[in-house]
Amino acid sequence: MRRMLRSLALLSATTILLLVSCAMEGVPEAREGDLAAADDPTLRPRQRMVTDQIVARGVTHPALIEALHKVPRHRFVPPSQSSHAYEDRPLPIGLDQTISQPYIVAYMTQALDPGPRDKVLEIGTGSGYQAAVLAEIVREVYSIEIVPELARQAGRTLAELGYENVHVREGDGYRGWPEEAPFDGIIVTAAPRTIPKPLIDQLAMNGRLVIPVGDWYQELVVITRTPEGLVERRTIPVRFVPMTGEVTRDPSMP
């Protein structure tokens, strides 16, 4: 009996030792994390943005979540706004334009369903943030911005951050980028009242077009080119700046 008790005591001592050593192993890792956070004060706000605003609301695409952790959103807003870069809202980027709320960027990107071999077109480069998120996930990103100063600034920011697979062009995105078509995905981040036909024509087979459509009431529409034809899906209500240029003179407009 006494021997049994002694071996039991020995066993529990071993267990305690094992538990302690496991806990100890965890310590250096936690310290490394703290050091990284101390080096980069934007790491924690970015992690919180992804967890609380995006994953908590149901976004699951793994490569997208990884991209959102990586892209330094504060570099895409004017210096006066950088302390707000990780907040749950859109922000002004100058010239009457905005960078979308992080959740909307994530929702639209997930709806686009991007893959590593995809070639994607974006209409409305704005700050370049959405283009950078896509560049982390897909092969090539082509992006068109109608306001020259924004196109230049976004091009500069993307080059500084080393995004070599993003090609920014200044111009009206209404006619897409025919020289580079077809695209596996097309994402429009300004709202027209009707969907520009040239964009639908530039969708590859199984390609997806994600576009906010409407005037004061806008809905995010997803169009997929399938072997049986185009399939349209209406998703959430959204609020984007209006798409300007040729689309406002579109004869098919109501």
> Can you tell me the distance from the alpha carbon of 189 to that of 167, in angstroms, rounded to the nearest whole number?
16
Contact 71, 132 (CB under 8 A): yes
b/e burial code for range 120-152 (CB count within 10 A of at least 16 → b): bbbbbbbbbbbbbbbbbbbebbbbbbbbeebbe
Q: Is 245 in the site for ligand SAH (CB under 6 A)?
A: yes
> Which of 123, 134, 209, 210 is close enough to bind ligand SAH by CB under 6 A?
123
The one among 104, 121, 146, 166 contacting ligand SAH by CB under 6 A: 146
Spatial separation of the C-alpha atoms in residues 208 and 226, rounded to whole Å: 9
Burial (0-12, 13-18, 19+ Cβ within 10 Å), 91: buried
Helical (H) or strand (E) element with 111? helix 102-112
Among 64, 91, 111, 150, binds ligand SAH (CB under 6 A): 150
Among 174, 203, 213, 214, binds ligand SAH (CB under 6 A): 174
Using the minimum distance from each CB to ligand SAH, give the nearer residue, 61 or 175.
175
Q: Which residues contact 202 (CB under 8 A, 6 or more apart)?
A: 121, 176, 177, 178, 181, 182, 183, 186
Min CB(96)–ligand SAH separation in Å: 8
Site for ligand SAH in 25-64 (CB under 6 A): none
Q: Is 127 in the site for ligand SAH (CB under 6 A)?
A: yes
Q: Which of 102, 114, 155, 173 binds ligand SAH (CB under 6 A)?
A: 173
Active-site residues, by number, are 100
Query: Tokens in use for 80?
Result: 């006066």
Tokens 């529990």 belong to 12
**145 counts as binding ligand SAH under rule CB under 6 A:** yes
98 is an interface residue for ligand SAH by CB under 6 A? yes
CB closer to ligand SAH, 100 vs 202: 100
Q: Closest approach of Cβ 225 to ligand SAH, in Å?
A: 22
Q: How many amino acids of this chain bind ligand SAH (CB under 6 A)?
A: 24
Contact with ligand SAH (CB under 6 A): which of 97, 109, 153, 157?
97
Does position 109 interact with ligand SAH (CB under 6 A)? The reply is no
Say what angle helices 102-112 and 62-70 make with each other, to 10 degrees. Answer: 140
Binding site for ligand SAH (CB under 6 A): 97-100, 123-124, 126-127, 129-130, 144-147, 150, 172-174, 189-190, 241, 243-245
